[in-house]
Amino acid sequence: MLNGSIRGPFLPTWSRECWSDAYLARVTDRNKLVGMTFNCEPIYGVRHLQSMIFATDRIGINTLLPVMSTCFPNWLSAVYGESNSTRAIINAGYTVSAMMTSFASQENYADECKHGDILLEGAYFGDNLHPYETIFQKANRNFGENVLSRLTEWTDLAGYSSYEVCGKKKEELKPLGGWGRWEEARKMGYS
């Protein structure tokens, strides 16, 4: 699940990985919800995955539907739904994980981390979260705008296409993966 507040995918030019495979690879028998970032500041009493992108499986979806199958009328109720999504997965006996690198830095990160919302200017341990950590960047928060602008421009100019890597077998991938489609980019007006 993705919402319209993020931009990407952004991958290094050497990567031949499909962005959705990167997220789905973290869904396991034990871990049922993968997100981009984790907010350690309890909101409604819950530390939680932020909900701009979620990857899960059928068990995760069935667990989330009672919590997420509504159109939230305002921002506060959406945040409540966001925090409840993490609570629902954990209460069902599963774990959650985030793509941000710091989440992998300690086994009990979700229980022990101290930071709040990292999607603000300088809020990621004194820096800004880089899109290469999470493949996407929150685009409506006014942080890391230069990186977001440059990566967007360069990705467009290179004609990057996840279609060239997603759903392909390793032997079917082109040497540059989804990169190097300059002719297609020129035809689309990126030059």
- 98-127 pLDDT per residue, tens: 999 999 999 999 999 999 999 999 999 999
Range 121-150 average pLDDT:
95
Q: What pLDDT score was predicted for residue 82?
A: 83
> What are 49's strand-pairing partners?
38
Q: What pLDDT score was predicted for residue 190?
A: 67
Q: Is the model's pLDDT at 185 over the cut of 90?
A: no
Residues 6+ apart with CB under 8 A from 25: none
Q: What pLDDT score was predicted for residue 49?
A: 94
Q: How far apart are CA 99 and CA 130, in angstroms?
A: 11
Q: Is the model's pLDDT at 136 over the cut of 90?
A: yes
Strands 38-43 and 46-49: antiparallel
Assign 70 a pLDDT band (cuts: 50, 70, 90): confident
The CA R_g of the chain, rounded to the nearest whole Å, is: 17
Laid out side by side, the sheet with 31-35 consists of 54-55, 31-35, 95-98
Q: Is the model's pLDDT at 159 over the cut of 90?
A: no
Q: How far is CA 138 from CA 19, 147, 162, 174, in A?
A: 16, 12, 19, 29
- Residue 53 or residue 13, greater confidence: 53
| Rounded percentage of the chain residues whose pLDDT exceeds 70 | 98
Range 13-27 average pLDDT:
94
Phi and psi of 80, rounded to 5°? -60, -45
Q: What pLDDT score was predicted for residue 119?
A: 94
Assign 97 a pLDDT band (cuts: 50, 70, 90): very high
In the structure encoding, which two tokens stand for residue 179, read together? 């990169």
Mean pLDDT of the chain: 91
Nearest of 11, 6, 7 to residue 50 by alpha carbon: 6
Q: Is the model's pLDDT at 40 over the cut of 90?
A: yes
Whats the size of the chain, residue-wise?
A: 191
Q: What pLDDT score was predicted for residue 191?
A: 58
Q: How far apart are CA 159 and CA 167, in angstroms?
A: 18
Start-end of H helices in the chain: 19-24, 58-68, 75-91, 109-112, 131-134, 145-157, 182-187
| Rounded percentage of the chain residues whose pLDDT exceeds 90 | 61
CB count in 10 Å sphere of residue 33: 29
Range 10-23 average pLDDT:
93
Q: Is the model's pLDDT at 155 over the cut of 80?
A: yes
